[in-house]
Amino acid sequence: MRNFRRGFTLIEVLTVMTVILILAGITIGTYSYVNNRGARARAEGEIAALGAACENYKLDNGEYPNVSAANGLNAQNTYAPESYEPASKELYNLLRGSGTAKSYFSFRPVQLGKHGSGQPAPSGTDPDFIRDPWGNSYGYSTMRQSYAASGSPPPLDKGFNPTFDLWSTAGNKTAADRPKWVRNW
């Protein structure tokens, strides 16, 4: 009588390993997609909420938050989130309120960032910008509004809205990626 040894053949082991690798690839790809969709949905919600806060600010003050750094920032041709930080910081200061100034927006710690870290600002520190879900600064510009206030018609290349532009590059940094941005226009 023959004595058969039980075990797996090399082909069976390779087949199981291939199936495991395929399932791992699908899982990792799905996780990345879901993570990016979640970040995009969060950015859309934050831009809508910040836009509503700007509208409330206008109701009380007669104009949208006039951020001096934003008057030189143009959503049409500025693609570096680092350059958005000064305008974002001023917008933060106007909307959060302090002392006797009315608060128009209650920022959560995860929405505030420190320059160069990409991480939320440590609790109790003064943030450098309003942080999008990708760790970059939101862009804010009133460039077309500032032209309209001067009495001359605002050029079309000075922004997208006659009121204010508010956007996130969604982690993208080139002009070609602008269609992927999350924005209020």
Cα–Cα nearest to 164, from 137, 138, 185, 136: 185
Statement: residue 52 has pLDDT above 80: yes
Residue 156 domain boundaries: 12-183
Q: What is the pLDDT of residues 93-151, one digit of tens each?
A: 999 987 778 899 999 999 998 877 667 777 777 888 999 999 888 989 887 666 666 66
Answer whether residue 6 is part of any domain.
Answer: no
Answer whether residue 50 is part of any domain.
Answer: yes
Q: What is the pLDDT of residues 110-122, one digit of tens each?
A: 999 887 766 777 7
Report the domain count for the chain: 1
Answer whether residue 22 is part of any domain.
Answer: yes
Of 171 and 166, more confident? 166
3-state secondary structure labels for all residues of 73-104: CCCCCCCCHHHHHHHHHHHHHHHHCCCCCCCC
